[in-house]
Amino acid sequence: MGIRLPKRRTRRAVAVSVGVCALLTTATTAAHGGGLPTVVDGDPIAFGGGSAHTYVTLDDTGSPTAVGVRFDAVALDSLPIGPLPTTDDFVLGLPGQADATVFDHVTLDWNSHGHDAQHGFDVPHVDVHFYMVDTATVDTIDPFVPGYLEKAPRLPDPKYLPEGYEPGNDPLFGTVPRMGLHWLDGTQHDHRFTETVLHGTWDGRHIFVEPMMTREWLQSRPELHEELGQPAAYQYTGLYPTTYSVTWDDAEQEYVVELGGLTPREAS
């Protein structure tokens, strides 16, 4: 884990083991000065033929302003596409300086053939799940775990999700094991999928924010900055994101997926 100043699931057992190690690592303390933001990097993990890591950006008071994931071009270009659809997920821990945010950990997922053709997601793409619950909770999202039939169809009050979002599938049969029920932006039904932001729920709780983007679109080296839809109320107290960006860092040869504009919210 390092500190720098900015320059301007098949589930693989190895990937999960590396991710668990990252979760156990604590961040070092950053020194702040000159009004410049400080970026604290999480420990890198192997991703494709390259690497990936999380980070948190801090203002000059030490308060988080953004969290994100970086992965290099070698990683994206080398991700495999076999004859059958697979989903490989990689768990990344966040630096300790992100504790004031609502996020617990991140998973970086490679979908070799995509999924959910009815929504146009059946193309090779990358998911970045920013989870608001711990890995132990995520692991209980399993049809073979007692209580699943009661918890899977239990939806949160709509006020806890951005306006216009709706479940992408039937809650009981469409909840993805060890992920959750995915909610889609209902305004994008006729939108050709290049990138989008999904939300996820489980057992009546909002549990993740998920930027999702095709490999083809990422390889175009995008410069995307958008406002993130906000719910009317919040289930957790902490710093929530208000912006979303996907950019290419030419100096580092890395893709950057960020949730920014972190703003304090109170649970209600």
CB half-sphere exposure, 118, CA atoms < 13 A:
4
**Total number of domains constituting the chain:** 1
pLDDT at position 244 is 97
Q: Does 29 reside within a domain? A: yes
How much of the chain, in percent, has pLDDT values that exceed 70? 85
| Average pLDDT score, the chain | 87
Nearest to 39 by CA among 81, 80, 6: 6
Distance CA 153, CA 229 (A): 24
- Structure tokens belonging to residue 245: 């960006």
- Pairwise CA distance, residues 241 & 101, whole Å: 9
- The number of angstroms, rounded, from the C-alpha of 8 to the middle of its chain's C-alpha atoms is 24
Q: Which helix (H) or strand (E) holds 151?
A: helix 148-151
Domain contains 109: yes
Q: Percent of the chain beyond pLDDT 90?
A: 74
Joined tokens for residue 229: 């839809």
Please report which confidence band the pLDDT of residue 11 belongs to, taking 50, 70 and 90 as the band edges: very low
Let me know if residue 231 belongs to a domain. yes
Nearest CA-CA partner of 5 in 44, 23, 29, 32: 32
pLDDT band at 259 (very low <50, low <70, confident <90, very high): very high
Q: Compute the radius of gyration of the chain from its Cα atoms.
A: 18
Q: Is 159 within a domain?
A: no
Tell me the per-residue pLDDT of 86-108, one tens digit each, with 9 for 90 and over: 788 999 999 999 999 999 999 99
Q: Are 72 and 249 in contact (CB under 8 A)?
A: no
Kindly state the DSSP code that residue 98 receives in the 8-state scheme: G
Largest CA distance in the chain: 54
Minimum mean pLDDT range among 23-27, 149-153, 221-225, 236-240: 23-27
Strand ranges, E, within the chain: 3-4, 38-41, 45-47, 50-58, 64-72, 87-93, 105-111, 125-131, 165-167, 181-185, 195-202, 205-214, 223-227, 238-240, 243-249, 254-260, 263-265
Q: Let me know if residue 182 belongs to a domain.
A: no
Predicted confidence at residue 191, as pLDDT, reads: 65
pLDDT at 3: 55
Give the number of residues written for the chain. Answer: 268
Query: Quick one: pLDDT at residue 187?
Result: 79
pLDDT of 22 above 80? no
Q: What is the pLDDT of residues 46-100, one digit of tens each?
A: 999 999 999 999 999 999 999 999 999 999 999 988 887 878 899 999 999 999 9
Q: Is residue 58 part of a domain?
A: yes
- Does residue 10 lie in a domain region? yes
- For residue 12, give the amino acid letter: R
Residue 13 predicted with pLDDT over 60: no
Residue 75: which domain range?
3-131+205-265
Is the pLDDT assigned to residue 222 strictly greater than 60? yes
Task: Tell me the per-residue pLDDT of 115-153, one tens digit each, with 9 for 90 and over.
Answer: 876 777 788 889 999 999 999 999 999 999 999 999 999
Query: Each residue of 146-167: pLDDT tens digit?
Result: 999 999 999 999 999 999 999 9
SS3 label, residue 118:
helix
Strands 181-185 and 195-202, bridge-based pairing: antiparallel
Whether residue 21 is contained in a domain is answered as yes
For residue 132, which phi and psi values (nearest 5 degrees)?
A: -100, 5
